[in-house]
């Protein structure tokens, strides 16, 4: 098990339906993630500007996913992950059984809703392959 990978997050993918001209959220609960939050400050002419930044790691071989339409218990997250372009091209029913990571979508952790700023796919030749997500 990766170090400190004991957190649960909720990924909220936004999906636009052109037929109804509405946007819906498709939720996926991920168990076994690593979350590190910090506050960053930047000096400006008006003073200091602070922002909270979360660094999240979702481990390919460790994290479990429970999708919105899941009839079964949690399954390995990597098996339900789809690249953003392929996820957007699916039907709404198919998308509800999968998840993705895209800038602009949301992540909830301990009641705080954050917007995904960047996603890094670190599933290559690593000891603990993972997705690294920066959220604010």
Q: What is the pLDDT of residue 61?
A: 86
Q: Exposure of 71 by Cβ count < 10 A (0-12 exposed, 13-18 middle, 19+ buried)? A: exposed
Identify the band that residue 71 occupies on the pLDDT scale cut at 50, 70 and 90: low
Say if strands 64-67 and 75-76 run parallel, antiparallel, or are unpaired.
antiparallel
Strand ranges, E, within 18-124:
22-44, 47-59, 64-67, 75-76, 106-109, 112-122
In a domain, residue 2? The reply is no
Whether 72 has a pLDDT exceeding 80, the answer reads no
How many separate domains does the chain show? 1
Identify the band that residue 70 occupies on the pLDDT scale cut at 50, 70 and 90: low
In a domain, residue 106? The reply is yes
- Residue 112, domain extent: 7-135
Q: What is the pLDDT of residue 1?
A: 57
């Amino acid at each position: 098990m990766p170090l400190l990978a004991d957190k649960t997050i909720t990924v909220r993918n936004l999906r636009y339906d052109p037929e109804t001209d509405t946007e819906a959220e498709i939720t996926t609960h991920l168990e076994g993630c690593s979350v590190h939050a910090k506050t960053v400050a930047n000096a400006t002419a008006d003073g200091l500007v602070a922002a909270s930044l979360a660094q999240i790691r979702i481990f390919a071989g460790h994290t479990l996913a429970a999708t919105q339409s899941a009839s079964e218990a949690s399954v390995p997250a990597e098996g339900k992950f789809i690249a953003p372009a392929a996820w957007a091209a699916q039907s709404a029913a198919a998308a509800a059984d999968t998840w993705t990571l895209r800038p602009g979508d949301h992540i909830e952790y301990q009641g705080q809703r954050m917007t995904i700023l960047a996603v890094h796919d670190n599933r290559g030749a690593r000891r603990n392959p993972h997705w690294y997500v920066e959220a604010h």
